[in-house]
């Protein structure tokens, strides 16, 4: 056998014996320490001392105290609402007082009343006042309401008109026209003491509704008898007078409430062609 192999085997056996001895010695040492501590009450100083906590004792008194938290005063409900309103006002931009337009708008409120609102540019107002010098100081701001029913209004051909003086700074006005079923248009401008009128803006044209039921009606409506004649005679069906009378009575009973007017007939009443 090779000497190197024998040498390796010998060294391996020695390492194994050495490891076994260390294990046995450690066990013997631990056993000796346990017996010594058990009978003589002395612990091995080489080991860390194990502390046991008594049941129910938490040592709370020795805990480090937490840092004091500053007391925050709770806001009252009214204060919270005011705070929200302030934040909302800061986030929401305010609507402008004007948009730089020069116009007047006319609207219908009911058969007798109109409503108008306007916005006038400063340069237009100054230009109109300059044309009225030296009477500009006594000029009044007025609304001139024209009756323009069934005409193409050119500023001079109205049926009639009337003026309403408005206060300075006003932006809207209710107008009592007092005439249902008529068309109106409004001018806003300056009226000088000598009667000179300078227009600042002209409105759209509106028509007031009528106060009564519409006068537009059909001249003649087909009767039930004529409806039967048109429905059956072209088809060659013979109908006795008694059958027709009974059917006519039944139709009158069914349609008595439904065909009360052209609008409520629901398509059952047929206009004569």
202-260 pLDDT per residue, tens: 999 999 999 887 776 666 666 666 666 666 655 555 555 555 566 667 767 766 655 55
Q: In sequence order, what DSSP letters do the residues of 203-236 get, joined into one string?
A: ---EEPPPSS--S---S-B--HHHHHHHHHGGGT
Is 20 contained in some domain? Answer: yes
Residue 165's pLDDT is what?
A: 94
Q: Are residues 118 and 169 in the same domain?
A: yes
Give the range of the structural domain holding residue 120, as residue numbers without chain letter: 103-207
Q: List the one residue out of 148, 145, 150 whose CA is nearest residue 114.
A: 145
Classify residue 87: in a domain, yes or no: no
DSSP per position, the chain: --HHHHHHHHHHHHHHHHHHHHHHHHHHHHHHHHHHHHHH----TTSPPPP-PPTT---GGGSPPPPPPPPPPPPPHHHHHHHHHHHHHHHSPPPPS--S--EEEEEEEETTEEEEEEE--HHHHHHHHHHTTTSGGG-EEEEEEEE-TTS---SS--SEEEEEE--TT--EEEEE---SS-EEEEEEEEE-TTS-EEEEEE---EEPPPSS--S---S-B--HHHHHHHHHGGGT----HHHHHHHHHHHHHHSTTTSSSTTTSTT-S-B--
Phi-psi region of 236 (alpha: psi -120 to 50; beta: other; left: phi over 0): left
Structure confidence at residue 5 (pLDDT): 81
The verdict on 183 and 222 lying in the same domain is: no
Does residue 22 sit in the same domain as residue 40?
A: yes
- Do residues 157 and 190 share a domain? yes
Q: Please report which confidence band the pLDDT of residue 19 belongs to, taking 50, 70 and 90 as the band edges.
A: confident
- With tokens 């219908």, the residue in question is 108
Domain match, 160 and 198 both: yes
User: What does the pLDDT look like over 113-151, one tens digit per residue?
Assistant: 999 999 999 999 999 888 888 887 889 999 999 999 999
Report in angstroms the alpha-carbon separations of 166 from 144, 190, 206, 247: 11, 10, 21, 68
**pLDDT (average), residues 188-204:** 93
CATH of the domain at 178: 2.60.40.10
- Last residue of some domain: 207, 231, 247? 207
* % of the chain residues with pLDDT over 90: 31
Residues facing residue 190 across a β-bridge:
141, 198
Whether residue 200 contacts residue 188, with contact meaning beta carbons closer than 8 Å, is answered with yes
258 in a structural domain: yes
Cα–Cα separations (whole angstroms), residue 188 to 126, 158, 194? 14, 16, 17
* Average confidence score pLDDT of the chain: 76
Residue 56 maps to a domain:
no
More confident residue, 84 or 207: 207
Of 220 and 14, more confident: 14
User: Measured between alpha carbons, how far is 253 from 247 in angstroms, rounded to an integer?
Assistant: 10
Number of Cβ within a 10 Å radius of residue 184: 25
Across the range 8-28, mean pLDDT stands at: 87
Report the number of distinct structural domains present in the chain: 3
């Amino acid at each position: 056998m090779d000497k190197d192999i024998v040498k390796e085997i010998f060294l391996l056996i020695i390492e194994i014996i050495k490891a076994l001895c260390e294990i046995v010695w450690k066990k013997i040492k631990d056993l000796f320490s346990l017996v010594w501590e058990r009978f003589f009450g002395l612990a091995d100083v080489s080991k860390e001392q194990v502390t046991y906590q008594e049941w129910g004792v938490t040592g709370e008194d020795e805990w480090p105290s937490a840092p004091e938290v500053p007391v925050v005063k709770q806001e009252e409900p009214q204060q919270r609402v005011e705070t929200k309103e302030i934040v909302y006002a800061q986030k929401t931009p305010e609507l402008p007082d004007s948009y730089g337009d020069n116009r007047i708008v006319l609207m219908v409120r009911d058969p007798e009343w109109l409503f108008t609102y306007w916005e006038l540019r400063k340069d237009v107002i100054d230009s109109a006042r300059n044309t009225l010098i030296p009477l500009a100081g006594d000029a009044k701001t007025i609304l001139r309401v024209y009756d323009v029913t069934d005409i193409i209004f050119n500023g001079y051909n109205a049926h009639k008109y009337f003026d309403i003086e408005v206060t300075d700074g006003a932006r809207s006005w209710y107008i009592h026209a007092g005439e249902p079923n008529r068309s109106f248009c409004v001018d806003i401008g300056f009226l000088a003491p000598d009667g000179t009128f300078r227009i600042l803006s002209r409105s759209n044209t509106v028509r007031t509704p009528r106060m009564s039921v519409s006068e537009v009606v059909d001249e003649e409506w087909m009767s039930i008898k004529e409806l039967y004649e048109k429905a059956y005679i072209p088809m060659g069906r013979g109908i006795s007078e008694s059958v027709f009378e009974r059917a006519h009575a039944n139709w009158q009973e069914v349609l008595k409430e439904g065909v009360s007017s052209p609008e409520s007939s629901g398509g059952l009443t047929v206009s004569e062609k």
